[in-house]
Chains A and B, each alone.
Chain A
Amino acid sequence: MAAEEGKVDPMKQFQIEPIFGSENWEIAGFSIAFTNSALWMAVTVILLVAFVYGGMRRELVPGRWQMAVETMTGFIDNMLEANIGKEGRKYVPYIFSLFMFILFGNLLGLLPIGLVGLHPFTFTSHFTITGVLALMSFSIVLIVGFWKHGIGFFGLFVPHGTPVLMTPLLFVIELFSFLIRPISLALRLFVAMMAGHVLLKILATFVIDSLNAGPLLGATVGPAALILMIAISALEILVAGIQAYVFALLSSLYINDAENLH
């Protein structure tokens, strides 16, 4: 998808570049350059720590900030209790971290700070990141599943009431759908974030190109594309929340399989 000279490349926003002259940092031959991606993860963590720290005042009658943080923890707590049950509470730290990390990353990538010359980077639009997050959830499912149920965890792949004749076939199908979970989990978030950002960039290109193409196109296509862009920006904020929620919800549903089988 190489762009022509002078054109806006909608994929350039996903480019990873080392910053602070760190391109040669490495451990055991593997590059650990501090990139723009790492920078935005750092920003996410700093803001997330600040956000949660503001909710630790431990007052009996909470202020707004404390209320906001308690709403988030309560939301995750309720989700886990509804999907897993009482023993789901021990996963609150993990699911909360996952949800907030993805949510803050998604939202920060939408910041309009390009206006002041900075380039927001959405690390959740990289499958290297979403893949690792999905594999983490999947590993928890495997570890908890085999820890609690041992070999009986394979019973997950044979639904109740399956005729004996059908068991091998269903086992294979269920196993396949189980193994595809981390891939679908990772792809869903990565694709949703990338698609939204590409769409916004393309619409921005329409605005600029139509203005350059002449007064007629500039007066018709330009404003229409701009209005659409504003609407889609609002939609993207929604998607940022929904995708974080879906990731956390599916992780907790998969963990439920491991905790309770069927």
Chain B
Amino acid sequence: MPQIDQVLETFSSQLFWLAVFFGITYFLVGRGMVPKVMGTVELRDKQIADDLAAAKAARNAADTQEEEWRLRENENRAEAQALVAEAKTKAAASSEAKLSEAQARLDAKLAEAEAQIEAARASAMTEIENVAADAARDIVARLAGADISEAAAKAAVKEAMVDA
């Protein structure tokens, strides 16, 4: 086989060119380029890790803020409910006061009106009695020709109206 037959005449050139080309491979590719490629990979891994950490921190911050907001919100809600309840009781009290005042006014008006009606009725009754007494005097004068006094007529009318 040529590997053995030619070994004496070719070994030096094989070694020399292997040294040259493997040397180029090692120093240019292995030492020069590979660390840069791996540096890129490392940089990317680091960036991804950093981004993940930043996202995690942001999420945690958002969570705490939400928690704070919720606490504040609950406080505000309780405050608002207290305000509403207070306003409700105030409004109820004031409306009750107004209602009772109005009731009192109405009661007074009613009593006044009743009194007026009573007075009107009394005066009307007196009027009727007077008219009736006049009519009775007239009738008596025409029928019997007797002239009776006004007081007698009134007494008679009153008696008759009470009986009626």
Contact = CB atoms under 8 A, between A and B. Distances in A.
B15 A52 contact: no
Interface string A134-166: 000000000000000000000000000000000
A62 B41 CA distance: 9
B33 A56 contact: yes
A127 interface: yes
Given A11-B2, A41-B21, A48-B25, A93 B12 contact: no
A97 B30 contact: yes
Interface of B is mostly: helix
Contacts of B11: 128
B21 A127 contact: no
Nearest to B4: A127
A69 B17 contact: no
Interface string B1-38: 11100110111111111101110111011110111111
Interface string A53-89: 1011011101000100110011001000000000000
B40 interface: yes
B60 interface: no
Contacts of B18: 41, 123, 128-129, 132-133
B10 A128 contact: yes
B83 to A, nearest CB: 56
A44 B20 CA distance: 12
Interface string A31-43: 1111101100110
A12 B2 CA distance: 7
Given A41-B17, A92-B34, A15 B9 contact: no
Contact of B30 (A30, A42, A60, A94): A94
B109 interface: no
B98 interface: no
DSSP majority for the A interface? helix
A124 to B, nearest CB: 11
B25 A58 contact: no
B14 A27 contact: no
Contacts of B17: 32, 34-35, 37-38, 41-42
Given A92-B38, A128-B11, A49 B3 contact: no
B12 A32 contact: yes
Nearest to A74: B41
B44 interface: yes
A225 interface: no
A252 interface: no
Contact of A60 (B22, B25, B44): B44
Of the listed residues B9, B13, B44, the one surrounded by the most CB atoms of chain A closer than 10 A to its CB is B13
B116 interface: no
A55 B26 contact: no
A128 B16 CA distance: 11
Contacts of A94: 26, 30
A90 to B, nearest CB: 10
Contacts of B31: 93
29 contacts: A14-B3, A15-B6, A16-B13, A16-B14, A25-B13, A26-B12, A31-B10, A32-B17, A35-B13, A38-B14, A41-B21, A42-B21, A44-B25, A49-B24, A52-B33, A52-B34, A56-B36, A58-B36, A60-B43, A66-B40, A73-B41, A96-B29, A96-B34, A100-B25, A126-B14, A128-B14, A128-B15, A129-B14, A133-B18
Q: Which 6 A-B pairs have the closest CB atoms?
A: A93-B30, A38-B17, A30-B12, A97-B30, A41-B21, A128-B14
